[in-house]
Chain A
Amino acid sequence: MSISLSEIRKHVRMFFIFAKNSLVGYMEYKANFYSGLIMETVFLLSKLIYIIFVYQLGIEINGISPDQMMIFTGTYTIMIAIYTGLFMDNFYRFAGHIRNGTLDLYMTKPLSLQFMISLRHVNFAFPIPNLIAGITMIVLAWQRLGIDPSFIHLAGYIGVILSSTIVTYSVLLLPQILAFWTVKSGSIFDILDKCWDLNNMPMYIYPKWLRRIGLYVVPILFITNMPSVYLIDRLDLFLGIWIFAAPVISLLVVRLFWKLAVKHYESASS
């Protein structure tokens, strides 16, 4: 698994070309772009309504104040923006590449196959409303909670978001890889999709055993909670180390699983 600097540079460059191509492709279908934007905005508003109710009632949940709750919701919304922008389109198409055999041609290219399949398309419509709403909530809650707006704090938060992004990629890609054996993976994807909704609320509302599974075994709760826990000063030493360890371990696991799966690729009939 040797990675040279020039290869990393090449892949970063390729990512931007993929993103550019996706954007050009998006602009070809204006109606699709705007309808995606509207759909996601409506979806976001429906989610925000009950958050507003919780906020107005001023209920504390396991010591989490409504303002702190807004940090969780804001982070959740930002993570949705990242997921829908970078990964969703690719993961939805994943099993199709195997079923239709389009993976064949990608496989012969001198570029990481995993990279090409999982980061080929960037969605520009879905993330926009989520990103705006998420950042707005974080800024508002940040002010109301009187969190020191220092560079260190901001850089730390962005760093944990980055760590969560890698965990999101790994946790949601892992079940997709099963498609190499099962060919269709819609149901597996749906299960993970529902699990993702566990991030809707702070992890403190869940029983300890579920929290532990969600943080350390299948780190789906890691995604929204870690950046928020960092901001509201609830981070202990163990969780601090886990912020660095989880993305490395999860990425390693997904990479090894990928390599194993690709050996089993049987291609579709021509």
Chain B
Amino acid sequence: MSIIQVEHLSKSFKYYEKELGLKKSLKNLVKRKSLIKEAVSEISLVIEQGEMVGFLGPNGSGKTTTLKMLSGILYPTSGQATVLGYVPWERKKEFKMQFSIVMGQKSQLWWDLPANESLYLNKCIYEVEDKPYNLVLDELTEILDVKDLLNIQVRRLSLGERMKMELIASLIHRPKVIFLDEPTIGLDLISQKRIREFLKYYNQQTKATVILTSHYMADIEDLCKRTIIINQGKIVYDGDLRRVNELFHTKKIIKLQFTDEVPRQALSDYGVITQHDGLNAVMEIDKHDLQQLSKMMLDRFPILDFTVEDIPVERGIESLYQKDGVRHESLAEV
């Protein structure tokens, strides 16, 4: 059963440009040059019940704008969408009672109060009866291991603990659709992992439909079978994550630090050099040759430090464009 249907959804924003300096500011007071940015352009998609879909893309690609339209925060410029059979931007109460949105950078908790006061507030807002409220609260605080923190002021909680409370506050009414906008942003690796485990568990238990936006590859990799990649407001990929993974993971980045200067030419036999200053170098090498080439380099060069990293997600997206032949002008801002 399709829970989310989107057809040719677009959103444009009007904004103003101001050049550097006071003189330009004075000029802008009288006349401003307005520009239009197409944040989301003609996107179409269908999401089934219980699916967990990842929205991946660089900053400013239109992920959050899409989520804001699907949750009724923004009116689209054109196009149509239904979520749970409702048009989101009509903002009907029946619709609001059945979905939830979590924004990693915005809080719904009262800063000066213990988290349980904010949770109780949401209980009242969503008209949840005492019994189911207590059951859900017990279950969620147990899984997320924050039972002992309920009586502590939100401002005294760590970022990870606060995000867990944000999640509980958003799930207190058992929503059927959950929009998660970068829920792990700014968290340490352990907290990120815990939140991901929780989301996986919650999706399996409740069969809630989840859309997750992130530019952390691990979030999407861990949680979503289906990935939608957005760039410059357009969907450039919609499908199985494994295929994207193959593309993203064909190469690895090696960062090298030397005790003595190593000339650029000496390194060029091992891979593509992206940065080099004599004592430091960053290279891209083929994943399959990693072991062999690393060994050869360690034997040949005076290496002080050696780290291997995945290709950044933005680079992966770039590779994807090239492979699929999707036209795009530049990824300079990525």
Contacts and interface: CB of A to CB of B under 8 A. Distances in A.
B73 A104 contact: yes
B125 A270 contact: no
B312 to A, nearest CB: 20
Contacts of A13: 124
A17 B153 CA distance: 17
A17 B106 CA distance: 22
B73 A108 contact: yes
A19 to B, nearest CB: 12
A83 to B, nearest CB: 23
B97 A24 contact: no
Given A108-B73, A267-B68, A21 B110 contact: yes
A241 interface: no
B231 interface: no
Contact of B105 (A107, A109, A267, A270): A270
B126 A265 contact: no
Contacts of A265: 73-74
Contacts, number: 67
Interface in A74-129: 101-102, 104-105, 107-111
A151 B138 CA distance: 51
A24 B113 contact: yes
B64 A21 contact: no
Nearest to A263: B75
Interface in B66-112: 68, 71-75, 91, 93, 96-97, 99-101, 103, 105-108, 110, 112
A110 B91 CA distance: 9
Nearest to A266: B13
A25 interface: yes
Contacts of B219: none
Contacts of A29: 112
A14 interface: yes
Chain B interface size band reads 20 to 34
B106 A104 contact: yes
A108 B99 contact: yes
Contacts of B75: 263
B59 to A, nearest CB: 9
B182 to A, nearest CB: 7
A14 B124 contact: yes
A108 B96 contact: yes
B127 interface: yes
A24 B117 contact: yes
Contact of B112 (A28, A266, A267): A28
B238 to A, nearest CB: 22
Contacts of A24: 112-113, 117
A267 B181 contact: no
A108 B113 contact: no
B121 interface: yes
Nearest to B74: A267
A109 B125 contact: yes
Interface string A255-269: 000000001011101
A47 interface: no
The 6 closest A-B pairs by CB, nearest first: A110-B96, A25-B112, A270-B64, A110-B93, A105-B108, A28-B112
Given A21-B113, A108-B73, A270-B64, 19 more contacts: A10-B124, A14-B124, A17-B124, A21-B110, A24-B112, A28-B112, A104-B73, A108-B99, A109-B125, A110-B97, A110-B126, A110-B127, A111-B125, A265-B73, A267-B74, A269-B64, A270-B103, A270-B106, A270-B181
11 contacts: A14-B125, A17-B121, A25-B110, A28-B153, A105-B108, A108-B71, A108-B96, A110-B96, A263-B75, A270-B64, A270-B181
Interface of B: 13, 64, 68, 71-75, 91, 93, 96-97, 99-101, 103, 105-108, 110, 112-113, 117, 120-121, 124-127, 153, 181-182
